[in-house]
Chain A
Amino acid sequence: MAEKLIVSSSPHIKAGITTRKIMLDVIIALIPACIASIIYFGWQAAMLLVVSVITCVVAEYICRKVMKRDNTIGDLSAVVTGLLVAMNVPSSLNPFMMMLGDVAAIVVVKQMFGGIGQNFVNPALIGRIILMNSFPGPMSSWTMTNYAIDGATTATPLGIVKMGLSDPLPNYLQMFLGNRGGCLGETCGLALLIGFAYLLIRKVISPVIPLCYIGTAALMSALLGRDVLFDILAGGLLLGAIFMATDYTTSPITIKGQVIYAIGCGVLTILIRKFGALPEGVSYSIIIMNLLVPLIERGTRPRTFGKERAKK
């Protein structure tokens, strides 16, 4: 009888959170934006989302098999990456091109560095950046939304401003609802905010990074004399701040670090928009700040309980 007892280290109960549940919550939070993209861009959007998810999951499965490691597709993180890559491409993109981005994200950025939790930059963003540099044309040829207003063009609002086109700009409400040119997932601010609220309620993310990121971007925009609301709604800022910059693995673990990181993202985004060659700077800002995370964490270690006072 005695040898039947199980012995293990404390604690003996768990909160019941799992990586899979967290990823599932992120997927649920992305659903409003998926629906919005299908409403505005039609079946092509749906097709790209499905193809991207399947490609990521299959890539992860094969990669783990080849590397003789245990299977991790059950944690659903590949599904999240798949959704995010698709959300970062225009609806007219050839799905085979997008698959290259998916494979780069999963195989090169995630699995080659050790799998979930080990990638040093956001996989979906690297997927997007590889696509932008490999296929600059298709990656910036936008289609009209199904409900495009009269005189609207296919260019993104940021593109119109950057290139000094004479096309009419959508108004704030149109941009907030997503009726504008852009990548699949970035256009509908409302859908992204619903997802944000869900993530906060489920305590998947803290509001620190999104709020500091958007707040800093707004401040920078105002300082540089730009249209603040336009800067918030026109590009990928909401998608980036809510779903990309908050990636656990590539953002600082401490609150202080998160504030610094998010401020950095906000400053860089607006600087790139104002002075860079590209109309949009969210992807590069987040990637650059991802790379600085180890440095930020080194400088923002929490003070151990009782440490400073002990020195006094």
Chain B
Amino acid sequence: MELNFPSTPFKTHGGAAVPHRKNTAQKQSVSMPAPSQVVIPMSMHVGAPCVPLVKTGDLVTVGQKIAESPAFVSAPIHATVSGKVSGIKKVMLPGGNYTDAIIIDSDGEMTVSPDVKPPVVNSLQDFLSALKESGLVGLGGAGFPAHVKLNVPKDKKVDTLIINCAECEPYLTPDNREAVENTASVVEGAGIVKKWLGLERCIIAIENNKPDAIAAIKKELEDKEKSQNDTIRVLPLRATYPQGAEKVLIKACTDREVGMGKLPADAGCIVMNITSCAFVADYMRTGMPLVKKRLTVDGSAIKEPMNVVVPIGTKISDVIAFVGTKTEPRKILMGGPMMGMAVPSMEVPILKQNNGLLCFDEKDAHMLEPTACIRCGRCVMGCPMNLMPARLETFSKAKDVDQLIEFDVMNCMECGTCAFNCPAHRPLVQAIRLGKGLVRAKQAADKAKAQKAKEAEGNK
């Protein structure tokens, strides 16, 4: 079989030289003991929210399915501690919106559910159903259900699996630690996905600022059986932001461009986060669904930065209390500093796709006041999607939907490179988000109008 592995990554456009600040890269992860209470929201994924299967007063065990949805694009939710359901109520998500959540008071035992047993997988269909049952969503931060992503439509020819360990966000190291601490599962998971989807090659893409991760996986892949006859390989990437963004990563690994509004499968690729990939192997071996998550706790308000493995649904306040703070945090981010979300409250729980909890002190919490755009062009030079962020900001402010569409606002992935580089500190990403909202609203309105016109036509 003719196989084509790049020895060096392909060229990508723009980007930013963000500081790395990977303070936790060399530290063994620490497991956090079960908190007294977990709050498990019904919406921790892209798609339909789940409906609770348990009610107040029910006893639950670790790994027991407690919520699911009949919708295809959704992922079931499992109990992450053993104990009693003390209530189902509305809670706030990181974005400030509300959703139902199951509250479980832990009994401290962490008793494992009898339902937890390795799935039997004999076909692709079995594999996808097993993935759905595992509750796996994209752990890199997107939260897209894994069984949906891996269910490639028949008409699309996919040949390449890319395992994403770029981890280009500053501070964050959970993927780096996964590669080092759980190396065997990473390679095994890549093999499993590659085998069931019948893919030709698998590229494990790692930024070159993680030499230990690259070395560990390369060593594991020396075994011909594990590397499936050298069809799974490591590709060290340039350490530049946003190397781990899906479209940028595909370009760097394969030189293919994912078209506007298209999916990776249209470019013959499937991209999976490395922790998701290792989870696949772990789940096939043990049957334990997604109940815990490793996250980097770091930032200027944290005493001793570390990677903590926490039960999903643990409140931010509990995690921070476990790790310890230097000063009271004034800004708390879920995710990295480039794309992470500032949470409004410490009561917000850790979700499946969280990979970082950054706590900043007073000084780092404030952003500089914006000044006038000087047209320096740094936003244009840096944009990995080749957009013109300063123009988009102007159009967004003017609510000029036609121009926003003309300048491809929807292709922005909000990586923040433009705003990071901006000497005038313009809130470019914020403006572009609003612009995207305007475009979506217009498209929805147009659709409704067309629908109405069609109905009127039908009534004649």
Pick 6 A–B contacts, CB within 8 A, sort by A. Answer: A5-B346, A7-B343, A18-B368, A72-B371, A305-B247, A305-B384
Contact status B429-A10, CB under 8 Å: yes
Q: A4-B330, A5-B342 are in contact. Are A304 and B387 (CB under 8 A)?
A: yes
Q: Which residues of A contact B (CB under 8 A)?
A: 1-2, 4-15, 17-19, 21-22, 72, 75, 77, 114-118, 248-249, 253-255, 301-307, 309-310
Asked if residues B429 and A11 are in contact (CB atoms below 8 Å), the reply is: yes
Q: Choose from B330, B342, B390, B430 the contact partner of A253 (Cβ within 8 Å).
A: B390
B48 in the interface (beta carbon within 8 A): no
B372 touches A304 (CB 8 A): no
Tell me, yes or no, whether B424 is within 8 Å of chain A by CB: yes
Chain B residues numbered 372-386 whose CB sits less than 8 Å from any CB in chain A: 372-378, 380-381, 384-386
Out of B339, B385, B425, which one reaches A305, CB within 8 Å? B385
**Which residues of chain B are within 8 angstroms of A310 by Cβ–Cβ distance?**
259-262
B356 to chain A, nearest CB (A): 12
Q: Given contacts A12-B367, A13-B19, A21-B423, are A309 and B342 in contact (CB under 8 A)?
A: no
**Chain B contacts of A6 at CB under 8 A?**
330-331, 342, 365-366
Check A254 against B377 for contact (C-beta < 8 Å): yes
Say yes or no: is B216 at the interface (Cβ < 8 Å to chain A).
no
Residues of B within 8 A of A115 (CB): 372
B411 touches A304 (CB 8 A): yes
Given contacts A15-B16, A15-B420, A21-B423, 19 further A-B contacts (CB under 8 A): A4-B330, A5-B329, A5-B332, A8-B331, A9-B429, A10-B341, A10-B416, A11-B337, A11-B338, A12-B358, A13-B19, A13-B337, A116-B372, A248-B374, A253-B390, A306-B260, A306-B385, A307-B411, A310-B260
B388 within 8 A of A: yes
Query: CB-CB < 8 A to B338: which residues of A?
Result: 10-13
Majority secondary structure, B binding face: loop
Most buried by A among B340, B365, B372, B421: B372
Do A19 and B423 form a contact, CB below 8 Å, given A8-B367, A12-B367, A304-B385? Answer: yes
Which residue among A10, A22, A75, A254 has the maximum number of chain B CB atoms within 10 Å of its CB?
A10
Contact B340 A10 (CB under 8 A): yes
Within 8 A of A (CB), among B35-58: none
| B230 CB → nearest A CB, Å | 30
Output the least CB separation between B277 and chain A (Å): 25
Chain B residues contacting A248 (CB-CB under 8 Å) are 374-377
Knowing A5-B332, A11-B338, the reply to whether A117 touches B384 (Cβ < 8 A) is no
Whether a CB of chain A sits under 8 angstroms from the CB of B170 is yes
- B425 near A309 with CB under 8 A, answer no
Nearest to B95 among chain A residues (CB) is A7
| B interface residue count range (under 10 / 10 to 19 / 20 to 34 / 35 or more) | 35 or more
Give every chain B residue within 8 A of A15 (Cβ-Cβ): 16-18, 420-421
- B257 at interface by CB-CB < 8 Å: yes
B352-372 contact mask (Cβ, 8 Å, vs A): 1 or 0: 000000101000011110011
Query: B9 an interface residue at 8 Å Cβ cutoff?
Result: no
Q: Which residues of A contact B344 (CB under 8 A)?
A: 2, 5, 7
Q: In the complex, what residue of chain B is closest to A77 when comparing beta carbons? A: B374
**Which residues of the other chain, A, contact B407 by a CB distance below 8 angstroms?**
301
Chain B hits for A305, CB < 8 A: 13, 247, 251, 257, 260, 384-387, 411
Bound complex: CA of A304 vs CA of B344, how far in Å? 35
A253 pairs with B337, CB closer than 8 A: no
Q: Does B288 contact A (CB under 8 A)?
A: no
Q: Does B199 contact A (CB under 8 A)?
A: no
How far does the Cβ of A298 sit from chain B's closest Cβ, in whole Å?
A: 11
What separation, in Å, do the CA atoms of A30 and B424 have in the docked complex?
22
Query: Considering the complex of A and B, which 3 residue pairs feature the smallest CB-CB distances, nearest first?
Result: A310-B259, A11-B416, A9-B430
| Residues in chain B near residue A253, CB distance under 8 A | 375, 377, 380, 388, 390
Separation of A19 and B372 alpha carbons in the complex (Å) = 9
Chain B window 17-30, contacts with chain A (Cβ cutoff 8 Å), 1 for yes, 0 for no: 11100000000000
| Distance in Å: Cβ of A200 to nearest Cβ of chain B | 15
Q: How far apart sit A10 and B358, CA to CA, in the bound complex (Å)?
A: 13
Q: Quick check: is B88 within 8 A (CB to CB) of the other chain?
A: no
Nearest Cβ distance between residue B260 and chain A, in whole angstroms?
A: 5
CB-CB nearest in chain A for B424: A19
Residue of B with least CB distance to A12: B337
- A30 CA / B107 CA spacing, docked (Å): 71
Quick one: given A5-B346, A6-B342, A302-B380, are A117 and B330 in contact (CB under 8 Å)?
Answer: no
A194 to chain B, nearest CB (A): 22
B181 lies within 8 A of chain A by Cβ: no
